[in-house]
Structure 1
């Protein structure tokens, strides 16, 4: 019995030592991740490579490994980016590499920042671009969208607009939404909203736009958005990760489509603004 008790005590001490070791390692990891270099993983080879200065063969990944699988360690691309992990139906130019025939993060993004590692905005291959749609049209064509107006959801006779055999809602939405339940957290899009808008619209280049687009509003602004009098008047939906996008200020729907009042505000208005004084929603 004494031997058994001693054995059990040793087991418990061993488990405790393992737990303490794990906690110690966790503290080390947290301290390492608070290092400035941890906030810029593209500057540290060890985030993806097994050696600090990869050269020659050590800089290459096996043919069956897609280095894009490192990206979700920092980026939530599944809910706020271009679709990935699928085989494209259109012809893809050679400068946009596929991985096992699929579009992945590194199809469009060059993690090392391009030639001489100088970098381009958003690490886009072939950049910088004056109009980011120039990159998109390497694979897509403007003609694909020229005859389609996704903002017209119903025809004069009341029937739903159909594009390529599908209701036009599915031009942007992954699943046909319920007009009575239109909330930012209740609808699923095919891609990030800004990608959907850029198929037809150029991005504005103004001081106003550059201080808002895809930025996360500070706490005070979020409090303003949550004010009851604002929420009852019009909605200001943010995209995943709480960022401002095109549809935060603009309502892309045709009047009469959305039945939920705040989400319906601004439909078919001038510039499709959700409210003529939309700025008061945040400021």
Structure 2
């Protein structure tokens, strides 16, 4: 079954070229089966890139999904045309009475700021609280993972001496849970961050379980509320060239830019990236949709809560 996307979304043409079956709203209205409703709060600066990355992963399932995009009323993005935002994104206020089967909250370029210093922190907290009563399962990614852990569980973040940057081997710690069905003993996760959460703070909190960690990048995935919340510190959704783009963007502009670890073939940027994470990225998102969204969501979406 295809993904159901808003008419005209740029990701549609890109993904069709990759032989991914997507359906726009016009065609989807002829379908009688209720699609899973997924809402994405996209806080990343390059919105269209992030949309495509996430939709590409969500497409790897036989289930039909209706994808919506949420934006903040308290923040105006600088790197995405206002026409795009007006056409494809809805303010939280416009959808706060609706219920969704799944939600994804992305990272944001504000991680070196204290949470309370972020201009849209009050609205973010309101949306996080709303998700607990209006969404079956939520994925919090990178900064959103740190923000969610801080808001719900008072887990602090810490500045790193240097940027955690690269593709890091990661170990599932509880192999028999559904989110890791089909996983190997080691999988690889892209990381691109200047801060971290620490195991000691998470272990002290009731209701949190570290389910994946890396010998080098430490805490990787935290689960809460039996899978109604996942906090992912990295970027499994990243496309093959994303870290390369970030590296070349910052080279010569920041004093903490190092070659991303375990990313380039022979550590040579001229040879391009060695892609090692895409299979597990697809599997994790597929498992999340199947086991934590589809199989736990009520047939009547109004019963979510």
With the shorter chain as reference, the TM-score category is under 0.3
Judging by fraction of residues, say which structure has more strand: 2
Higher relative contact order (CA 8 A, sep 6+): 2
Q: TM-score, normalised by structure 1?
A: 0.27
More helix by share: 1
- TM norm structure 2: 0.25
| Largest Rg, 1 or 2 | 1
